[in-house]
Structure 1
Amino acid sequence: MTSAVRHLTEAGFLGKFYIDGEWRKPTGLATAIVVNPAIEQPVAEIALGDDEDVDCAVVAARKAFTGWSRKPAAERAALLDRVHGLLLDRLELFAQAITCEMGAAITYARRAQVPLAAEHIRVARDNLATYPFIATRGSTAIMREAIGVCGLITPWNWPLYQITAKVAPALAAGCTVVLKPSELSPLSALLFAKVMDDAGCPPGVFNLVNGTGPVVGTGLASHPQVDMISITGSTRAGVLVAQAAAPTVKRVAQELGGKSPNIILPDADLSRAVPLGVAAAFRNLGQSCSAPTRMLVSRSQMAKVEILAAAAASELVVGDPLAESTTHGPIANPPQFERIQAMIGIGLEEGAKLVIGGPGRPNDLQVGFYARPTIFSNVNRDMRIAQEEIFGPVLSIIPYDTVDGAVEIANDTVYGLGAHVQGTDIETMQAVAGQIRSGQVHLNYPDWDPNAPFGGYKRSGNGREYGREGMEEYLETKAVLGFYR
């Protein structure tokens, strides 16, 4: 038993929800088992909510909304500041929870999963301090006001990061929230609820109800007293949530699937562009919606790129996520492991060239949902491995003949979440970036920017997260004419 599970067990939180400032038992008896993907063994049992639990949390959030939304911005920022500090103080506890619940290497959990999650809190706090909630347009006042009660649905792949990316801007805007984390990775969410409680969050401002998508997710989406839903998940899940929300005409913000391209321009430094492209594609073992899993390469450079890509992938250390030498742990859960294995098989059937990896576990790993980092080359743009989101360590190298052709291939997908462009001529890269239909474009692997808005075109969703735009998703616009005389 890890220290995180022991902490939650001893506190009695595994079988409870956090509603109206209290840890409460669920109304029903449904539970779910949390499985450690590294050992394929149960490590915890959590309660699952029902419609009555959802209603209880929504009522608490609605009751708290008026008071919280009228708090001075400085008071809301002060709460976020306390949350930020506590989260960093408990970094190791959160890292262990994330490693236990979804298999992230402990080194990666410590340096990325938790610190980047904390950054969303800091950014929301800082943006709140300077945001103009009232602006002047002639004699009219343009007011930005909290939209109301928000249902937040988060995924299993970045469990804490996605929570803070939604909770922090929503609270900064003056909204109250009901969080439904993934039932597959709920441990870090329960620890976060404890942070909110210890930070002195007013009752009802933050609420947590564990549960499944069809029950708790749909319950939040269809609830008439919920003003907005923000979901991060698969495109299929996003569609179902939008359908459930439609009768109540609530706002729905969706951050969904992706099949992001990485265009390696002919003048790029391949010795840098290719290894970093492999690392980006396999970040979090490819379990990231914006992972650049399509590498577009000039046809004349394919042979060299294959060699560089294989060398980069061979340096990855897949194994026990608690080992300091491990760079990549197991796939987070059995369904995702099976999906990855199936798609690798499809790539072979479609005739793609296997550069490295392939089906099955790494040879020395017999237990755990471990997948082999896999690279295909000579991938045709129409192949399923080039079109479908695999959500695992599978990279497709696709040849192009002209830069215009590369842009066409990059846009030839139903998704539009992220994209990368590598080269040496900044004007060319900027021009290519302007033609790609996606919510973000990264030029030459820049540092992550928590203030850069993130979201999708097409079936990758709508709305934006992160930074100022992320907070504005939780605001309504009111015009008061004749306000100024």
Structure 2
Amino acid sequence: MHSYEKFYINGEWVQPSGSGAIEVINPTTEQPCGSVPNGDASDVDAAVAAAKAAFPAWAATSAAERSGYIAQLAGKLDENKEALASLISEELGMPVGWSVAIQVGLPTGVMASYIDLPAEMEKEEELANSLIIKEPIGVCGFITPWNYPLHQIVGKVAPALAAGCTMVLKPSSETPLDAFKFAELIDEVGLPAGVFNLVTGPGRVVGEAIATHKDVDMLSITGSTEAGVRVAELAAPTVKRVTQELGGKSASVILDGAELEAAVGAAVIGLSINTGQTCAALTRLIVPRQSQDAVVAIAKGAAATVVVGGAFDEAAGMGPMVSKSQQATVRKYIQQGIDEGATLVTGGVDMPEGLTEGYYVPMTIFADVTNDMVIAQEEIFGPVLSIIPYDTEEEAIAIANDSPFGLSGAVWGPDVDAAKAVARQIRTGQIAINGGDFNIAAPFGGYKQSGNGRELGAHGLTEFIEIKSLQL
């Protein structure tokens, strides 16, 4: 059991004002694996006050000093990767091998990518008689999700530190344990008191207290579109900056002449990672109608290679859903797809063979899906793939764009130029061309209801900056 009883506020572990605890359930065993304090608005007040008090001195530190702290944190994450991965696997359910590589490896790389970026804050621009300078925006409130918990924390904390901001973090109640381990690492590197503060509790209490707080200058949330809308509404009266990385229903468009084995295999295996609980997952596979039968055969074969099992099962490539409620939600969508008349290729609403406990859903593939079906329009957040046939390239682009979301995507073509030509017409924030790798230095974020703003790299840093003009 990993039990935490105190919050990290103003450089110290302090007793919470709120009462009770939030129990964390291991989705592999369905048993408790830890607990964290159940905070309230008073805890948020204390954390924000600490961040506000720490801001002037932290904002005045040199870029070199902030770079040093970021480098130390990157080193600490790397040193503790095995322990962090094990912790995240317990609370989330991702197989531990994937957790080492993705749940810890990715945020370690992101933190390291910000080591040199504090220097951007000291660059100035002369514009006629004006001197344009950069300043940190101030106290930041972070609300992070359960699916990539440490990565989403680091994706906000690293640029905030680089810019010279102070912060208050509220992690998800489903997977909060890694946030407390991260706070321990913050304490070990000796980050000045009040720069980073951690409070846990329900979104309707702690999250809303952060969103409405008059001394929070900027709010960054990663979560559902509904949650993003809610915090934006709450933040509006104080006119704070709000950045949102929200839902997705991303399309992988396969053009005529593309390599089917690579394109289809990437979609299926990519969806198995984190059990489809990825906002940027490619859940719509848009394929030439004449190729649908071949695509279905390849997809079914790829799905058969995915071994489903517990977080610490060495053979497992896909673990359970994060919670019983998420399992029920995904099963409901699968049944809806069946009821809508889509062809169930593999998977379904039953537990994977040989498993009797744990919040599992099998890899599920539908064919003959039309883009007006619920399973093609709504974010399922599970290992459910919809294969949608098209007749013309123009129709494929229209299908890809016929979505309230626009977070990610992919295009597979017979050559790079053909794929790029289609990718430029798809309204989404990031698109992989013929299997292009994820780049932690490239901006990540969405169009439409997938959010506002960008994370990662130098573009992510700009969300934490105010621009000032000195008229000389």
For the superposition of Structure 1 and Structure 2, which TM-score range results when normalised by the shorter chain? over 0.9
What is residue 201 of structure 1 aligned with on the other side?
191
- Cα distance in structure 1, aligned partners of 2:35 and 2:270: 34
What is residue 414 of structure 2 aligned with on the other side?
424
Secondary structure of 2:5 counterpart: coil
- Cα distance in structure 2, aligned partners of 1:365 and 1:224: 50
1:363 equivalent among 339, 348, 353: 353
2:406 and 2:427 in contact (8 A); partners too: yes
1:327 equivalent among 289, 299, 317: 317
- Cα distance in structure 1, aligned partners of 2:215 and 2:251: 40
Secondary structure of 2:442 counterpart: coil
Shift of 1:446: 1.4
Matched, 1:293 2:256: no
What is residue 44 of structure 2 aligned with on the other side?
54
1:114 and 1:160 in contact (8 A); partners too: yes
Which residue identity does 1:372 align to in structure 2? P
- Cα distance in structure 1, aligned partners of 2:404 and 2:338: 23
Which residue identity does 2:340 align to in structure 1? E
1:35 equivalent among 4, 25, 50: 25
Secondary structure of 2:116 counterpart: helix
What is residue 151 of structure 2 aligned with on the other side?
161
Deviations, residues 283-303 of structure 1 (Å, cap 9, x unaligned)? 211100010000000000000
Deviations, residues 144-190 of structure 1 (Å, cap 9, x unaligned)? 11000000000000010100000000111100000000011011000
Question: What's the C-alpha RMSD, in Å, of the aligned pairs?
Answer: 1.0
What is residue 245 of structure 2 aligned with on the other side?
255
1:282 and 1:291 in contact (8 A); partners too: no
1:259 and 1:388 in contact (8 A); partners too: yes
1:237 equivalent among 227, 243, 263: 227
Deviations, residues 395-447 of structure 1 (Å, cap 9, x unaligned)? 00000111111000000000000010011222221111111101111101112
What is residue 175 of structure 1 aligned with on the other side?
165
- Cα distance in structure 2, aligned partners of 1:381 and 1:188: 38
What is residue 67 of structure 1 aligned with on the other side?
57
Shift of 1:278: 1.1
What is residue 471 of structure 2 aligned with on the other side?
481
1:283 and 1:291 in contact (8 A); partners too: no
Shift of 1:134: 1.7
Which residue identity does 1:277 align to in structure 2? A
Deviates more, 1:269-278 or 1:464-473: 269-278
- Superposition misfits of 4+ residues, deviation over 3 angstroms: 129-133
What is residue 299 of structure 2 aligned with on the other side?
309
Shift of 1:267: 1.3
Query: How do 1:453-464 and structure 2 match up within 5 A?
Result: 453-464=443-454
2:272 and 2:306 in contact (8 A); partners too: no
What is residue 174 of structure 2 aligned with on the other side?
184
Shift of 1:130: 4.9
Matched, 1:352 2:339: no
- Cα distance in structure 2, aligned partners of 1:465 and 1:43: 31
Which residue identity does 1:94 align to in structure 2? L
Secondary structure of 2:150 counterpart: helix
- Cα distance in structure 2, aligned partners of 1:133 and 1:392: 44
2:11 and 2:193 in contact (8 A); partners too: yes
What is residue 398 of structure 1 aligned with on the other side?
388
Shift of 1:282: 2.6
What is residue 366 of structure 2 aligned with on the other side?
376
Secondary structure of 2:114 counterpart: helix
Secondary structure of 1:355 counterpart: strand
Secondary structure of 1:435 counterpart: coil
Deviations, residues 238-296 of structure 1 (Å, cap 9, x unaligned)? 01100110110000000000000000111101111110121123321110001000000
Secondary structure of 2:104 counterpart: helix
Name the count of aligned residue pairs.
Answer: 472
2:273 and 2:317 in contact (8 A); partners too: no
Secondary structure of 1:473 counterpart: helix
Matched, 1:386 2:386: no
What is residue 132 of structure 2 aligned with on the other side?
142
Shift of 1:324: 1.5
- Cα distance in structure 2, aligned partners of 1:109 and 1:360: 26
What is residue 96 of structure 1 aligned with on the other side?
86
- Cα distance in structure 2, aligned partners of 1:237 and 1:24: 28
What is residue 105 of structure 2 aligned with on the other side?
115
- Cα distance in structure 2, aligned partners of 1:452 and 1:21: 32
- Cα distance in structure 2, aligned partners of 1:320 and 1:31: 26
Deviates more, 1:192-201 or 1:24-33: 24-33
Which residue identity does 2:129 align to in structure 1? S
What is residue 69 of structure 2 aligned with on the other side?
79
Deviates more, 1:304-313 or 1:121-130: 121-130
Shift of 1:45: 2.0
Shift of 1:138: 2.5
1:407 equivalent among 392, 397, 400: 397
Which residue identity does 2:436 align to in structure 1? P
Gaps of 5+ in 2: none
Secondary structure of 1:348 counterpart: helix
2:266 equivalent among 258, 262, 276: 276
2:23 and 2:36 in contact (8 A); partners too: yes
Secondary structure of 2:296 counterpart: helix
Gaps of 5+ in 1: none
- Cα distance in structure 2, aligned partners of 1:450 and 1:291: 16
1:98 and 1:104 in contact (8 A); partners too: yes
Distance 1:224 1:131, change over 3 A: closer
Which residue identity does 2:222 align to in structure 1? T
1:133 and 1:145 in contact (8 A); partners too: no
What is residue 45 of structure 1 aligned with on the other side?
35
Secondary structure of 2:424 counterpart: helix
Deviations, residues 74-112 of structure 1 (Å, cap 9, x unaligned)? 000100011010110000110011001010110100111
Shift of 1:131: 5.4
Which residue identity does 2:190 align to in structure 1? G
Which residue identity does 1:412 align to in structure 2? D
1:152 and 1:229 in contact (8 A); partners too: yes
Shift of 1:481: 1.6
